[in-house]
Amino acid sequence: MTERKISAVPSHRKKNFYRICMVSDYFCPNTGGVESHIYHLAECLVQRGHQIVIVTHHYEGRRGIRYLSNGLKIYYLPFVILFNQCVIPSLLSTLPAARYILQHEKIEILHSHSSLSTLAQEFMFHANLIGVRTVFTDHSLFGFADMASVAGNKMLECSLVHCNRVICVSHTGKENLVLRSSFPSERVYVIPNALDTHHFTPDPSQRCPSKINIVIACRLTYRKGIDLLARVIPRICNEHADVDFIIAGDGPMRILLEEVRESGYLQERVKMVGNIPHNKIRQILVLGNIFLNTSLTEAFCMTILEAASCGLHVVATRVGGVPEVLPKDLITLADVSVDDIVLVLGKVINRCRAGLQLEPWKVHRRIVGMYSWTNVAKRTERVYMDAVQDERHSYANIFAKHLSKGFLFGILMCIFVFLDLLYLIFLRICDSTKK
C-alpha cells in the first residue's frame, strides 16, 4: 500500500545531504516571522549542500513554480484560501499535489512550519503515509481554556501522530507544545530563531536629537496587545512631551489606534506608516530609540531581535518565550498591564533622555555573536539526521495512536487515514494505467 519506502541513512555515510521539502501557508510575498524563518533557514541549508523545495499556496500574481535568485524552488499551489492566509481544510484534495511533489522531487524529509497552517498539517499527514520522514516546527503559543484553543490543540495532537521530530523556537514553546499535544518531550528540540545581522545595522544619524522615538512593528491584532497599546500611548504622550510613536504594521485593530490619535489630537506625535516590506523595516527601526512590544502571547518574536540589532533598547511584556530572547541589559520587561507598561517605559525614557543607554553599535556586535542562521541550520541538520534514523511508522501503529487520542475523534481520524490510503492506491493504479 506504500508509494515508496525511505530507508534509514547508512551509518557509514560521512556527510548527509538531504532532499527537503518545506511546507507552510506562510511564505513570500507574505511577510512575518514564519516567512522569514523558512526563507533564511532554506537559504542556509542550500549553501550547506542540501536540495530544498518550498510549498505554499498561491498569492496574487504567483502561481505554479517559481525560482528565487538564491536557488530556492517554490511551488505556489492553487488551493482556496479560507481565513488568515490559510487554505481551506480538505485533506484528500491536497493528496495528489503532495504525492506528486514528494515523488517528483525525490523528497527524503518533509519539514512543516506553523500549527496554524492547514497546508503544513495536511502535507505532513500525507508524507507520513507515503513513507517520507517528517519534521515540524512550531512558532506559536496557544492556550487551553477557550473552544478555539481546545479544537486547535486536538487537531495538532492528531497531526503529530504523523511526525518524527518537532522543533520549537523557545523552551517555553516546547513546554506549551508538549502539554497541548502529548508529544514525547525527548523528541522535541529547541532551536531559537535568528536574523541576518548584516541587514539590521544601527544608524544613529537617523535619530532626531530633540525627540525620543518609540517604534512598534507588528500585526495590529488583539494577540499583539494592541488594546494595551491604545491605552499606553495617550498616557506616555501626556507625561513625556518629547516622546513620539512610530507604528509600522496593519491589521483589524488599526482602527482603534486611529481613534486614539484623533481623540487625543496626537496625529503629529503618533505616525502610522502601515505595512512595511520586510526588506525595508530597518529604515523604520533606525529612526527609533526604544522598541515596544506589548504582545499577550509570543513564542519568540523576531522583531525584538531585529530592533536590538539596530541598536534600540527593547521594552516588552513578560510573556511566553520573550524573556529568553535577549540578555537583561538589552531588554526591559513589564507585566501585561497598562500601568506597569507605562511605569517601565517611563523609566527607560528617562534613562534614554539622560544618555544612559548602551551604544548602538556595541549592542549590534553582541547580537551578531549571539544569533546566526548558519548555527540554526547546523542544529536543524542534527534534527534531520535523527529523523531519518527513525523506523517508518507502520499503519497499525498509526491507527493505534489515533485511537489513543479519544474514541470518537480517534475513529474519525482512522477513517481519514483509511481514505487517504485508498486514494493513494487509486492514484498509483492511475499512474500504472498511463504508463
Percent of the chain scored above 70 by pLDDT? 96
- Mean pLDDT across the chain: 90
Final residue of a structural domain among 371, 386, 404:
371
Are residues 246 and 305 both part of a single domain? yes
Q: How far apart are the C-alpha atoms of 373 and 11, rounded to whole Å? A: 27
Q: Which of 96-105, 143-152, 158-167, 306-315 shows the lowest mean pLDDT across its residues?
A: 143-152
pLDDT value for 435: 65
CATH of the domain at 58: 3.40.50.2000
Are residues 204 and 187 both part of a single domain? no
Q: Does the structure show a pLDDT above 80 at 252?
A: yes
Residue 264 belongs to a domain = yes
Number of helices (H) and strands (E) in the chain: give both, helices first.
14, 16
Residue 164 belongs to a domain = yes
What is the mean predicted confidence (pLDDT) over 349-378?
93
What is the mean predicted confidence (pLDDT) over 113-135?
93
Final residue of a structural domain among 371, 386, 413:
371
Domain count, the chain: 2
- The three grid cell numbers given for residue 109, joined into one nine-digit string: 524529509
Write out pLDDT tens, residues 203-227: 999 999 999 999 999 889 898 999 9
Are residues 213 and 356 both part of a single domain? yes
Residue 367 belongs to a domain = yes
Record the pTM: 0.85
Which is nearest to 94 in space by CA: 60, 117, 113?
117
Q: Does the structure show a pLDDT above 90 at 83?
A: no
Q: Does the structure show a pLDDT above 90 at 100?
A: yes
Are residues 233 and 174 both part of a single domain? no
**pLDDT band at residue 3, thresholds of 50, 70 and 90?**
very low
Cβ-proximal residues to 184 (8 Å cutoff; 6+ apart), any chain: none
Q: Which of helix, strand or coil describes residue 313?
A: strand
Residue 128 belongs to a domain = yes
Q: How far apart are the C-alpha atoms of 338 and 189, rounded to whole Å? A: 35
Instruction: Say if CB 231 and CB 305 are below 8 A apart.
Output: no
pLDDT value for 424: 92
Q: Does the structure show a pLDDT above 50 at 1?
A: no
Write out pLDDT tens, residues 259-305: 999 999 999 999 999 988 878 899 999 999 999 999 998 888 889 99
Residue 310 belongs to a domain = yes
Are residues 234 and 359 both part of a single domain? yes
Which is nearest to 40 in space by CA: 305, 275, 310?
305
Q: Does the structure show a pLDDT above 70 at 15?
A: no
pLDDT value for 392: 86
Are residues 181 and 216 both part of a single domain? no
Are residues 275 and 303 both part of a single domain? yes
pLDDT value for 313: 97
Q: Does the structure show a pLDDT above 70 at 79?
A: yes
Which is nearest to 110 in space by CA: 133, 87, 142?
133
Residue 230 belongs to a domain = yes
Instruction: Say if CB 224 and CB 295 are below 8 A apart.
Output: yes
Cβ-proximal residues to 48 (8 Å cutoff; 6+ apart), any chain: 377, 378, 381
Residue 11 belongs to a domain = no
What b/e readout covers 352-367, taking b as 16+ CB neighbours within 10 angstroms?
beeeebeebeebbebb
Are residues 151 and 219 both part of a single domain? no
Residue 290: Cβ within 10 Å count: 23
Are residues 245 and 162 both part of a single domain? no
Q: Which domain holds residue 255?
A: 197-371
Are residues 53 and 176 both part of a single domain? yes
What is the mean predicted confidence (pLDDT) over 76-90?
84
Cβ-proximal residues to 369 (8 Å cutoff; 6+ apart), any chain: none
Residue 6 belongs to a domain = no
Residue 40: Cβ within 10 Å count: 19
pLDDT value for 4: 39
Are residues 290 and 425 both part of a single domain? no
Are residues 133 and 224 both part of a single domain? no
Write out pLDDT tens, residues 166-199: 999 999 999 999 998 889 999 999 999 998 889 9
Final residue of a structural domain among 333, 356, 371:
371
**How, if at all, do strands 81-83 and 86-87 pair?**
antiparallel
Which is nearest to 379 in space by CA: 45, 151, 122?
45
**pLDDT band at residue 5, thresholds of 50, 70 and 90?**
very low
pLDDT value for 277: 82
Q: Does the structure show a pLDDT above 50 at 348?
A: yes
Percent of the chain scored above 90 by pLDDT? 65
